[in-house]
């Protein structure tokens, strides 16, 4: 029970890595408060976990909605110990696509802005909302979802890579700024992980992903959840400002 009586906020907790993290944290004794835009799934996860698990419909790009969620959590429990900034979206597209020297397609600026609003500004919104509470209570843990592509780049993911690289930068800044208040800030960078995002990917592409991973398998949501659990626990009490790759050893190529 490494998180006994801790209050943990998890964004994007209705499915995939977020759900696995909610399940792992609840099993370790945490009071889990899930935020997601998928109300049906979020309610189902909270119901399945039972106990002190609850769900709020929150769009992390909406600063007021985030603040309301955090305030409601503190009003209920009196504190917030852990924030897992897991929520994220994809809108993959090439920067430009050219045929016979002519521009035929490019990444819409709306897609670029949307991904950054959720994957980058959403992380900022949530961290800024919890930090004052953590400072007043004498400490806390903020964990941010980055990605291996933030360091390696990836074909067709200008917006996603920019956001996840920004998350690494913010993680390092906040570790410096908030360390004096006993707040630890770290990032986890998953590799290719078997979530619903990969459900539509053809099997031969998944085989290529496995072949490029030294451990010869895709990650499972539980692999990432276990990393979050370690970093959230007192076992990681002297770890801050790091990016933990959970990727099976992969280096993303072109």
Summarised one tens digit per residue, pLDDT across range 201-245 is 788 888 888 888 889 899 899 999 999 999 999 999 999 999 999
Q: Is residue 252 one of the residues assigned to a domain?
A: no
- What distance in Å separates the CA atoms of residue 207 and residue 132, rounded to the nearest whole number? 46
Q: Is residue 163 one of the residues assigned to a domain?
A: yes
Question: Which residues are part of the catalytic machinery?
Answer: 160
Q: How many independent structural domains does the chain possess?
A: 1
Q: Is residue 1 one of the residues assigned to a domain?
A: no
The token pair that represents 96 in the structure block: 């430009």
Confidence at residue 38, expressed as pLDDT on a 0 to 100 scale: 96
Q: Is residue 167 one of the residues assigned to a domain?
A: yes
Q: What is the largest CA-CA distance in the chain?
A: 63
Q: Is residue 158 one of the residues assigned to a domain?
A: yes
DSSP secondary structure letter of residue 131: H
pTM check: above 0.85: yes
- What's the CATH number where 138 sits? 3.40.50.720
Does position 33 have pLDDT exceeding 90, yes or no?
Answer: yes
Q: Is residue 253 one of the residues assigned to a domain?
A: no
Confidence at residue 252, expressed as pLDDT on a 0 to 100 scale: 65
Residue 131: give the domain boundaries: 7-246
Q: Is residue 173 one of the residues assigned to a domain?
A: yes
Q: Which residues contact 203 (CB under 8 A, 6 or more apart)?
A: none
């Amino acid at each position: 029970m490494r998180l006994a009586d801790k209050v943990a906020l998890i964004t994007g907790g209705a499915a995939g890595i977020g759900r696995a993290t909610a399940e792992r944290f609840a099993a370790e004794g945490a009071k889990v408060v899930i935020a997601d835009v998928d109300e049906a799934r979020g309610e189902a996860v909270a119901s399945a976990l039972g106990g002190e698990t609850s769900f709020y419909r929150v769009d992390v790009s909406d600063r007021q909605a985030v603040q309301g969620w955090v305030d409601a959590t503190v009003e209920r429990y009196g504190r917030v110990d852990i924030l897992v900034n897991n929520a994220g979206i994809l809108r993959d597209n090439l920067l430009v696509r050219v045929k016979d020297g002519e521009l035929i397609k490019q990444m819409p600026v709306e897609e670029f802005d949307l991904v950054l609003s959720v994957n980058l500004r959403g992380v900022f919104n949530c961290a800024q909302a919890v930090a004052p509470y953590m400072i007043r209570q004498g400490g806390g843990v903020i964990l941010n979802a980055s990605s291996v592509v933030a360091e390696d780049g990836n074909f067709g993911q200008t917006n996603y890579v920019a956001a996840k690289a920004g998350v690494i930068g913010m993680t390092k800044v906040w570790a410096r700024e908030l360390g004096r208040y006993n707040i630890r800030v770290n990032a986890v960078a998953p590799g290719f992980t078997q979530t619903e995002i990969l459900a539509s990917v053809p099997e031969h592409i998944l085989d290529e992903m496995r072949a490029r991973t030294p451990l010869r398998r895709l990650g499972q949501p539980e692999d990432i959840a276990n990393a979050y659990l370690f970093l959230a626990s007192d076992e990681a009490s002297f770890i801050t400002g790091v990016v933990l790759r959970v990727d099976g050893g992969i280096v993303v190529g072109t």
